[in-house]
Structure 1
Amino acid sequence: MEMRVETPLADAGRSGYLPKERLAVWLLFLVNGFIVGNWAPKIPEFAERLHLDKSELGLMILVFGVGSLVMMPVAGMQIARLGSARVSKISAVLLVPSILTLTFTQSVPMAGIALFLFGGFVGGMDVAMNANAVAVERKMRRAIMSSCHAFWSLGGLLGAGLGGYLIEHSGPTVHAIVATAIAAVMLAVAWPIVHMDRPAKSSVDETSRARLPLKPLPWLVGAMALFCMVPEGAVLDWSALYLRQDLGANAGVAGLGFAAFSLTMAIMRFAGDLVRDKLGAVMTLRICTVIAMIGMLAASLAPDPTMVILGFALCGIGISNMVPIVFSIAGNLPGMAPGVGLSIATTLGYSGILFAPSTIGFIAEHTGFSAVFAALPLLQAVVLAFSGLARYADAGEHHETVAQRV
């Protein structure tokens, strides 16, 4: 029998609500979201400068997604060797100048390379900062993942708003310089206080923990991430068209579906850590999944746009904390370096947002969007069925104990 001794440091971590390490990881998420947010309003200027039509622009954006998916597993393996703090810092330093690079690129081939690297740095930093959030959760003995994702959403909102304003009033060059400077300042504040987690030791056992695993558990958690994020991508890409074409909403009302979804998601992500600390990850995941299923069904069966918008708002409440909890599960799987589990979850999860929308569009062409949205709760039911795995999300200290036995 093995006894665990609570140390004063653990108790201090449990009592501190806003230590510097938590502020640092919030800033990492804010920087990542801010850079991505600044890219969104830049896309029209980027396409015009390079004379891209819609299909060519679509291929360019796909290159961004491929870059992310390629780099995520690489980042996961490097996190196991170097620690999440070092990989977060390296990827952030490479990411911050990306808007400048995309602004001054003048040829299509170079723009493709720049977008691939941009996506790769975004994806690599995404895995690393999520792994760092897991490490801070363990140190604090409390949930922080939902608020981290809320800060990513906040960064995206700030970046998109600032980017759109500066491009319109000052031009793309000024926008790129200002956005890069702001991101660099935020990174500079975070830099000295990022939680320095320990990389895997250089033994045979620990090195094997840094490789992509063959056992099914991490891939099951990755599938859970995929099934959480496909419905999110469906609302992002198809909610407006569903309201417009199937229910006859005007353009202004059609955009409110995703707006309501995003608003409730952001609010609940800021509140999600408190809920999870109160109820535990398993119960929180189950409640959120059921709410998401009810919201999606309500949106799919609603007879008018108002009820559809309310359904998407309810769905946002549910989905808000599903992905953060699944990422916490992936980062706390026993006998596995956190970055490896997270790289699987992020790669599979974000592939759902990148590639599922085209499949959904093809199916909706033959069945209508209502049928598609009605079927999406089946994916969420899989997450509900395996929600017991969320016990790992609450068990940072248990993860360390188990890992020592493996």
Structure 2
Amino acid sequence: MPLLNKLRTTGAGSPGGATDMRSLAGLRTALTLFFALDGFLFAGWVVRIPAIKQQTGASAGDLGLALLGVSAGAVVTMTLTGRLCRRFGSHPVTVVSAVLLSLSIALPALTHSALALGLVLLVFGTAYGGINVAMNSAAVDLVAAMRRPVMPSFHAAFSLGGMLGAGLGGLVAAGLSPVAHLLGLTVAGLLLTAAAGPVLLRHPSPAAPEAVPADERPRARLDGRSRRLVTVFGVIALCTAYGEGALADWGALHLEQDLHAHPGVAAAGYSLFALAMTAGRLSGTALLERLGQTRTLVAGGATAAVGMLLGALAPTVWLVLLGFAVTGLGLANIFPVAVARAGAVAGPGGVAGASTLGYGGMLLGPPAIGFLADWFSLPAALTTVAVLAAGAALIGYAARDA
């Protein structure tokens, strides 16, 4: 396990031991808030995309190109952030990225052309990619220090933050302009960072020379075996994120187009998936303590595969909704476990590599489903989510001794 961010441990009954446990609890709370903030801000931006599209006068094609700015900025920055975490530590990089994310979320509402929107989304994507790698790196180190598999709880906070951000955005969309809404998110983000950031900054920077002895610092270059393991866990993350992206963009359409569901019921399909995923992550720590990482990966992938086959091929709306919920439960803990194992192997660089591949899966899912739906049908295309979930289970089992 990496020694980054590990606090000095003492006897359980000693004053020093109690202090360390309080420090770990404080770190866990602060990191949980940053995960929730990330989901909250991103969802707040997403619900204002239609209004900003109208404001900029962008066509559907122009908007699609502009939105690539988020993806491009995130993917490029994820690799760079791993190096920054090794040099400066994941704690300071998390705090700086949170400030940048909070500031940059206000920029899209100030644009009036598709080109300007694409440029500011590049900045937003840069901050988004940076905070995802940095806070996951910090979480991996905290998991090692706590000696408990609490990684899913952080991702549950991200999911809860996203649900809160989307719900709040939907409530204020009719009464607030995009400028007022997104500026409000900037203020909220900066306030939370000001409250939680000092907790991270008070602890030694995990990659700073004074924090880690020279022989314990992460190597800038990984050996061949470490690279292969990071790639394996990154592919597992990709398989999960592919399903998330596919259901986010195509789940409602499948219900409405193929099963003639009411638009309200169709819209509830992804919400049910997201709720099930959040519930799965909230129970993820207990599941990991009971089953271990490999069994959790295999069981999750198999469950998601069965659920998505039901969701894609079932003949009734309610069976499809049940399938979406089962899929959410199955996929819930695969991404957190994959990123945690990549971080345990290779530190921040491992988190960066696995996160980049995982994010690529989220980008790959929607267009891949679209192309396959054109060639075959949407239900047939959605079965690829089941195929990749089963693939994640098989890869997780094959990597059981890693």
* TM beyond 0.5: yes
Pairwise mapping of residues 163-312 of structure 1 onto structure 2 (< 5 A)?
163-194=169-200, 196-199=204-207, 209-211=219-221, 214=224, 215-312=227-324
CA–CA distance in structure 2, aligned partners of residues 390 and 24 of structure 1: 32
Tell me if structure 1 keeps the 8 A contact 2:26–2:199: yes
CA–CA distance in structure 1, aligned partners of residues 173 and 267 of structure 2: 23
CA–CA distance in structure 2, aligned partners of residues 134 and 208 of structure 1: 14
Equivalent of residue 380 in structure 2, options 371, 385, 388: 371
Deviations 1:270-316 (A, max 9, x none): 11112212322222222212211111122223121111110111111
C-alpha deviation, 1:377, in angstroms: 2.5
CA–CA distance in structure 2, aligned partners of residues 50 and 259 of structure 1: 29
If the length of structure 2 is used for normalisation, what is the TM-score? 0.88
- Residue type of the partner of 1:276? L
C-alpha deviation, 1:369, in angstroms: 2.1
CA–CA distance in structure 2, aligned partners of residues 370 and 111 of structure 1: 34
Equivalent of residue 42 in structure 1, options 48, 55, 64: 48
Deviations 1:6-35 (A, max 9, x none): 852797699779710000100111111111
Q: Does 1:20 align with 2:26?
A: yes
Change (3 A) 1:78 1:372: same
C-alpha deviation, 1:372, in angstroms: 2.3
Pairwise mapping of residues 257-406 of structure 1 onto structure 2 (< 5 A)?
257-333=269-345, 336=346, 338-388=347-397, 389=399
C-alpha deviation, 1:51, in angstroms: 1.0
Tell me if structure 2 keeps the 8 A contact 1:81–1:210: no
Question: Structure 1 stretch 344-353 or stretch 196-205: which is displaced more?
Answer: 196-205
Tell me if structure 1 keeps the 8 A contact 2:150–2:285: yes
Tell me if structure 1 keeps the 8 A contact 2:133–2:352: yes
- Residue type of the partner of 1:163? G
Question: Structure 1 stretch 121-130 or stretch 275-284: which is displaced more?
Answer: 275-284
CA–CA distance in structure 1, aligned partners of residues 310 and 157 of structure 2: 29
Deviations 1:192-237 (A, max 9, x none): 1125452175999888823476542211111111112112221111
CA–CA distance in structure 2, aligned partners of residues 380 and 11 of structure 1: 42
Deviations 1:172-197 (A, max 9, x none): 33223322111111111111112545
Change (3 A) 1:170 1:381: closer
Tell me if structure 2 keeps the 8 A contact 1:77–1:211: no
CA–CA distance in structure 1, aligned partners of residues 351 and 344 of structure 2: 9
Change (3 A) 1:6 1:129: closer
CA–CA distance in structure 1, aligned partners of residues 52 and 223 of structure 2: 40
Change (3 A) 1:357 1:213: farther
CA–CA distance in structure 2, aligned partners of residues 110 and 269 of structure 1: 37
Matching residue of 2:146: 140
Change (3 A) 1:167 1:300: closer
* Structure 2: runs of 5+ lacking an equivalent: 1-7
C-alpha deviation, 1:114, in angstroms: 0.9
CA–CA distance in structure 2, aligned partners of residues 21 and 6 of structure 1: 15
Tell me if structure 1 keeps the 8 A contact 2:41–2:105: yes
CA–CA distance in structure 2, aligned partners of residues 253 and 141 of structure 1: 42
CA–CA distance in structure 2, aligned partners of residues 13 and 140 of structure 1: 13
- Residue type of the partner of 2:76? V
Identity of aligned residues (%): 36
- Residue type of the partner of 1:299? G
Deviations 1:227-266 (A, max 9, x none): 1211222111111122222222232222232121111111
Matching residue of 2:4: none
Tell me if structure 1 keeps the 8 A contact 2:65–2:118: no
* Structure 1: runs of 5+ lacking an equivalent: 393-406
- Residue type of the partner of 2:220? A
Matching residue of 2:137: 131
Tell me if structure 2 keeps the 8 A contact 1:281–1:391: no
- Residue type of the partner of 2:11? P
CA–CA distance in structure 1, aligned partners of residues 256 and 30 of structure 2: 42
C-alpha deviation, 1:36, in angstroms: 0.5
Question: Structure 1 stretch 199-208 or stretch 281-290: which is displaced more?
Answer: 199-208
